[in-house]
Chains A and B, each alone.
Chain A
Amino acid sequence: MSATLHSIFVFAHTWWVELLCAVLIVLVFPIIAGYIMLVERKVMTSMQAGQGAMSVGPHDPMQPIADALKLLINVDLIPDNADRFLFWLAPIVSMAAALISMGAIAFGPWFQVARDINIGLLFVVGVSALSPLGIILGGWASNNQYTILGALRSTVRLLSYETTAGFALVSGFLLAGTLNVRAIVETQRTDQAWYIFLAPVGFFTYLIASIAGTNRSPLDIPEAQSELVAGYRNEDSGFRWSHYFLAEYAGMIVVASVGTTLFLGGWLRPFPNVRWLGWLDAAPTLLFAAVAAYCAFRAAKQPAHLQSFFMWAVALACFVVAAIYALAAPFGRAPLQFMHDGPYGAFWFLLKVSAYIYVFVWLRVALPRLGFGQVMRMGWHILIPLALINVVDVGIALALSSEFGLNRWAAMIVTTGVTLVAAIFLLHWNDKYSAAASAALLADSSTVEDPHAG
Chain B
Amino acid sequence: MLDSVIFYFFAGIAVISAALVITRRNAIHSAVFLITTLLATAGIFLQLRAEFLFITQIILYAGGIMILFLFVIMHVWLDVPLPQFRSRTQKWIALLVALAVGLEAGFVLWLARKLPGQGLLIANPAPADKLPPNTEELARSLFGSYLLPFEIASILLLVAMVGAVIMAKKRTEA
Q: What 0/1 readout, one digit per residue, does chain B (57-70) give for beta carbons within 8 Å of chain A? A: 01100111011101
Give the B interface residue count (CB, 8 A). 24
Within 8 Å of chain B (Cβ to Cβ): is A15? no
Of chain A, the residue at the smallest CB distance from B56 is A126
Within 8 Å of chain A (Cβ to Cβ): is B18? no
Within 8 Å of chain B (Cβ to Cβ): is A155? yes
Cα distance, A154 to B64, chains bound together (Å):
12
Question: How far in angstroms is the closest Cβ of chain A from B29?
Answer: 7
Cα distance, A140 to B26, chains bound together (Å):
12
B28 adjacent to A126 (CB under 8 Å): no
Majority secondary structure, A binding face? helix
Q: Which residues of B contact A179 (CB under 8 A)?
A: 135
Q: Which residues of B contact A86 (CB under 8 A)?
A: 28-29, 32
A132 adjacent to B67 (CB under 8 Å): yes
Q: What 0/1 readout, one digit per residue, does chain A (128-155) give for beta carbons within 8 Å of chain B? A: 0110110011001000000010011001
Question: How far in angstroms is the closest Cβ of chain B from A246?
Answer: 20
Question: How far in angstroms is the closest Cβ of chain B from A391?
Answer: 15
Of B26, B51, B55, B62, which one neighbours A133 at CB under 8 angstroms?
A: B62
Q: Which residues of A contact B133 (CB under 8 A)?
A: 118
Give the A interface residue count (CB, 8 A). 28
Q: Which residues of A contact B51 (CB under 8 A)?
A: 117-119, 123
Within 8 Å of chain A (Cβ to Cβ): is B107? no
Q: Which residues of A contact B52 (CB under 8 A)?
A: 118-119, 122
Take A137-B70, A152-B74, A179-B135 as given contacts and tell me if A123 and B29 are in contact as well, using a CB distance cutoff of 8 Å.
no
Question: How far in angstroms is the closest Cβ of chain B from A442?
Answer: 16
Question: How far in angstroms is the closest Cβ of chain B from A109?
Answer: 20
Within 8 Å of chain B (Cβ to Cβ): is A83? yes
Within 8 Å of chain B (Cβ to Cβ): is A159? yes
B55 adjacent to A122 (CB under 8 Å): yes
Q: Which residues of B contact A125 (CB under 8 A)?
A: 59
Cα distance, A55 to B51, chains bound together (Å):
50
Within 8 Å of chain A (Cβ to Cβ): is B35? yes
Of chain A, the residue at the smallest CB distance from B132 is A118
Take A136-B67, A179-B135 as given contacts and tell me if A83 and B28 are in contact as well, using a CB distance cutoff of 8 Å.
yes
Within 8 Å of chain A (Cβ to Cβ): is B9? no
Q: Which residues of A contact B55 (CB under 8 A)?
A: 119, 122-123, 126-127
Cα distance, A148 to B63, chains bound together (Å):
19
Take A85-B29, A86-B32, A119-B52 as given contacts and tell me if A158 and B67 are in contact as well, using a CB distance cutoff of 8 Å.
yes
B71 adjacent to A152 (CB under 8 Å): yes
Q: Which residues of A contact B26 (CB under 8 A)?
A: 83
Q: Which residues of B contact A162 (CB under 8 A)?
A: 63-64
Within 8 Å of chain A (Cβ to Cβ): is B134? yes
A140 adjacent to B58 (CB under 8 Å): no
Of chain A, the residue at the smallest CB distance from B72 is A155
Q: What 0/1 readout, one digit per residue, does chain B (96-135) give for beta carbons within 8 Å of chain A? A: 0000000000000000000000000000000000000111
Question: How far in angstroms is the closest Cβ of chain A from B130?
Answer: 13
B70 adjacent to A130 (CB under 8 Å): no
Cα distance, A85 to B59, chains bound together (Å):
24
Cα distance, A152 to B59, chains bound together (Å):
19
Question: How far in angstroms is the closest Cβ of chain A from B7?
Answer: 19
Q: Which residues of B contact A89 (CB under 8 A)?
A: 32
Cα distance, A159 to B72, chains bound together (Å):
13
Q: What 0/1 readout, one digit per residue, does chain A (249-261) give for beta carbons within 8 Å of chain B? A: 0000000000000
Question: How far in angstroms is the closest Cβ of chain B from A146?
Answer: 14
B134 adjacent to A133 (CB under 8 Å): no
Question: How far in angstroms is the closest Cβ of chain B from A221?
Answer: 14
Cα distance, A132 to B55, chains bound together (Å):
17
Question: How far in angstroms is the closest Cβ of chain B from A121?
Answer: 10
Question: How far in angstroms is the closest Cβ of chain B from A240?
Answer: 17
Known: A86-B32, A119-B52. 9 other contacts (CB 8 A): A83-B26, A89-B32, A118-B135, A119-B51, A119-B54, A136-B67, A140-B70, A155-B68, A162-B63
Question: Could you list some 28 contacts between A and B, CB below 8 A?
Answer: A83-B28, A86-B29, A89-B32, A118-B52, A119-B135, A122-B55, A123-B51, A123-B55, A125-B59, A126-B55, A127-B58, A130-B63, A132-B67, A133-B35, A133-B63, A133-B67, A136-B70, A136-B71, A140-B70, A152-B74, A152-B75, A155-B68, A155-B70, A156-B71, A158-B63, A158-B67, A159-B64, A162-B63
Closest 7 CB pairs of A and B: A129-B63, A126-B59, A155-B71, A126-B55, A119-B51, A118-B133, A126-B58
Which residues from chain B sit less than 8 Å from chain A, CB to CB?
26, 28-29, 32, 35, 51-52, 54-55, 58-59, 62-64, 66-68, 70-71, 74-75, 133-135
Which residues from chain A sit less than 8 Å from chain B, CB to CB?
83, 85-86, 89, 117-119, 122-123, 125-127, 129-130, 132-133, 136-137, 140, 148, 151-152, 155-156, 158-159, 162, 179
